[in-house]
Amino acid sequence: MKIGFYTLGCKVNQYETQAMEQTLLEKGHEIGTLKDVCDAYIINTCSVTAVADKKNRAVIRRVRRDAPEAILAVCGCYTQHAAEKLEGMGIDVVGGSGQRLEFLEKVLEAVQTKQKATVLDAALRRRAFEVLPAGGLDGRTRAMLKVQDGCVNFCSYCIIPYTRGPVRSAPLELAVEQAKELAAEGFREIIVTGIEIASWGVDLPGKPGLETLITAVCQAVPDLRVRLGSLEPRVITEEFCQAMTELSNLCPQFHLSMQSGCDRVLERMKRKYDTARYLQSVELLYLYFPGCAVTTDMIVAFPGATEEEFEESLQFIQKCRFADMHIFPYSRRPGTPADKMPGQHANAVKEDRSRRAIAVAEEMNRSFREAMVGTRQQVLFEEEQEGLYAGHAPNYMKIYVKGQNLHNEIRTVIVEKIHKDGLFATEI
């Protein structure tokens, strides 16, 4: 059989799609895309924003229209909490954000029998980490290593704890084994990912900290670069930084989830830190990892957030000197406390504040890139773009060079100037 995939959302979703593809390949099936004629199509959905929900429905309608005879299967966070909204859209197999292997079996059965099926559990009752096969997409330089799932922070704006359930951690031995498998497959970089990787280990015997996991993975694959997914800022301590500096293959890029630079807004968001603690984490990273990239997410126009509070956030992010930022206008998520808060902002306010925050973020990004001019970087090259070869430095800044056949090669370069969305360099 030929199964076409389409994935929306985060790196965890991307990992889980790759795992499903790997499972099907091992069973002798062929993998395709929405552009291919397939026996079945699997759409892995996201539901972090209302925009994501719209994209989910648009893709589902398109596939059903373009391939009326094929089996249409939908899984992911959107179906986990809003399966009823998909009724009448011609979906044959409905899955959630777990039980991926059982979901795949139902898809294969549906191709043979044309029987509809539903594979949905109660996310909040999950207690075991779902083991999926390690692997990455052919032709890629990096692969993802999922080590954790679930979240119990219950931030007031976020639907994810309801769609993913409580924290479940991959056993240390499993993470190490899968990292070695990825190294054997020829990948040059591993991204350690999860819904909230800072919570890794809280459900394991002895409650090992995240530094235990990172150290074990880095030591297991000393020839691979290891990059971390999004981190909760409270995990950044003196002890954590000291342990991480001992790992020569750990990439100096740290994505610290922020969401707001105003304490009053953070409190209403039910975040577990204030701006002082967040800035402490940032400064520790700059102290222990000179030249590192600290990146973040920011939500603008949260319910009730005043212009004064927004300006406070703009001033705060400049203190942090972020290398890059993702700016999101607040998106209402039914079922979350923020959805019922007073002071919901009009789209015009969201657009205005997004534009202003993006302008500040772009200026910080340019300053960060300017500071890299004249430095030496070890670049993992990935693909040819408009006559140049592009790759990423350890801090994840994009680097362009003149060259050929550099795919999956790591080369030393000297950065010469800013170029497009990254930097231009010369290979040494």
The phi and psi torsions of 124 (rounded to 5 degrees) equal -70, -10
Is the CATH code 3.40.50.410 the one for domain 2-121?
no
Measured over the CA atoms of residue 123, residue 128, residue 129 and residue 130, the dihedral's sign is negative
The token duo for 69 is 């005879």
Give pLDDT, residue 138. Answer: 66
Its CATH architecture, for the domain 376-427, is: Beta Barrel (2.40)
User: 142-371, which class in CATH?
Assistant: alpha beta
Q: Render each residue's pLDDT in the chain as its tens digit; 428 residues.
A: 999 999 999 999 999 999 999 999 999 999 999 999 999 999 999 999 999 999 999 999 999 999 999 999 999 999 999 999 999 999 999 999 999 999 999 999 999 999 999 999 999 999 999 999 987 766 789 999 999 999 999 999 999 999 999 999 999 999 999 999 999 999 999 999 999 999 999 999 999 999 999 999 999 999 999 999 999 999 999 999 999 999 999 999 999 999 999 999 999 999 999 999 999 999 999 999 999 999 999 999 999 999 999 999 999 999 999 999 999 999 999 999 999 999 999 999 999 999 999 999 999 999 999 999 999 999 999 999 999 999 999 999 999 999 999 999 999 999 999 999 999 999 99
Distance from C-alpha of 3 to C-alpha of 36, rounded to nearest angstrom: 9
Instruction: Specify the amino acid at residue 260.
Output: S
Residue 132 makes CB contacts below 8 A (sequence gap 6+) with 15, 16, 19, 20, 23, 100, 101, 146
Instruction: Count H helices and E strands in the chain, helices first.
Output: 12, 18
* Cβ-count burial 138-158 (b if 16+ within 10 Å, e if not): eebbbbbbbbbbbbebebbbb
Q: Where in the chain is the domain with CATH 3.40.50.12160?
A: 2-121
Give pLDDT, residue 139. Answer: 73
CA dihedral 390, 413, 244, 145 (to 10 degrees): 30
Q: Where in the chain is the domain with CATH 2.40.50.140?
A: 376-427
> What is the reported pTM?
0.94
Measured over the CA atoms of residue 51, residue 161, residue 234 and residue 142, the dihedral's sign is negative
* Cβ-count burial 93-114 (b if 16+ within 10 Å, e if not): bbbbbbbbeebbbbbbebbeee
Q: Where in the chain is the domain with CATH 3.80.30.20?
A: 142-371
